[in-house]
Amino acid sequence: MTKQQIEKLADLLPPFAATLYLDMIPEFQEGYASYVYQTPKQDIQKRRIKQLTKNFERLLDTPSFYVMPVTRKTAEQLLADKGLAYHLLSTVAANQVFAAAVNEDQTLFQVLRNGARVAFVILQEKGEFLEMTLGILETVTENEVPAAIVEAVQTYLLADMQEKLPSLSIMVSQESSKLFYQEQGFVLLAKGCKPGNENDSDVCQLVKYFSKP
């Protein structure tokens, strides 16, 4: 019944709101459909749809970014998706790290923009650093979104780990990626670049210090 409710709700929303709604992850789609149709009273349903429309309209002007874990089932489904591709600003080998994390049953996170998945995050402690693998999805086209994704992850980590948060480390190879992360407050470590594989650019380690190093 939930699938039918999702389709019904999308049909009743204005086009802009329906597009935003159908781009959301299934958990959010189901949650909104349940909210609207948990009552059989049509007048209440209409009021709730009207309120949702207002809420979605605000998201057009002020996008919402949210970080949450990926369920095991979802991770396996995404791993099987051969069409999944990553943005050039993703960290090194994001697809391989994601696959290994799923196979090893590690905790994965996703970044949502207005309820739609825009990136994956894998965090691993590596010595004094917390290494972040960030896979920004290729579907991200707006120039300002990658920076907002990085900020959302940092905000999540600061709230979750507070004073225990170690310095955040990333590995990049593209010059454009290196410049992008430096703009987000990351610094290139001294001797932080190593030759990549044959025909590949150097792989560089950048670090974001949340307190003085």
User: Of the residues 41, 62, 83, which one is the last residue of a structural domain?
Assistant: 62
Q: What is the pLDDT of residue 162?
A: 63
Confidence of residue 212 (pLDDT cuts 50, 70, 90): very low
Nearest to 153 by CA among 176, 171, 138, 169: 169
- 213 located within any domain: no
Pick the more confident residue, 181 or 213. 181
Rounded Cα–Cα distance for residues 161 and 157 (Å): 6
Which secondary structure element, helix H or strand E, spans residue 102, and what is its range? helix 94-103
pLDDT at 200 over 80: no
Note the pLDDT tens digit of each residue in 152-178.
999 998 887 766 677 899 999 988 999
In this structure, the answer to whether residues 78 and 143 fall within a common structural domain is: yes
Residue 70 near residue 84, CB atoms below 8 Å: no
Question: In this prediction, what percent of the chain has a pLDDT beyond 90?
Answer: 74
In this structure, the answer to whether residues 51 and 82 fall within a common structural domain is: no
pLDDT at 151 over 90: yes
Mean pLDDT value of segment 8-28: 97
Range of the domain at 191: 66-208
Backbone phi, psi, residue 37, to 5°: -100, 10
User: Own/partner pairs for 77-85, CB < 8 Å, 24+ apart?
Assistant: 78/102, 79/103, 84/137, 85/137, 85/138
Mean pLDDT value of segment 107-129: 94
In this structure, the answer to whether residues 37 and 124 fall within a common structural domain is: no
Question: What's the mean per-residue pLDDT of the chain?
Answer: 91
Say which amino acid occupies 77.
Q
pLDDT at 213 over 60: no
Note the pLDDT tens digit of each residue in 45-102.
999 999 999 999 999 999 999 999 999 999 998 888 877 889 999 999 999 999 999 9
pLDDT at 142 over 70: yes
Report how many domains make up the chain: 2
Q: Which residue, chain included where needed, has tokens 């290139």?
A: 188
Specify the CATH number for the domain of residue 145. Answer: 3.40.630.30
Q: Is the pTM of this model over 0.75?
A: yes
Q: What is the DSSP string of 31-54?
A: HHHHHHHTS--HHHHHHHHHHHHH
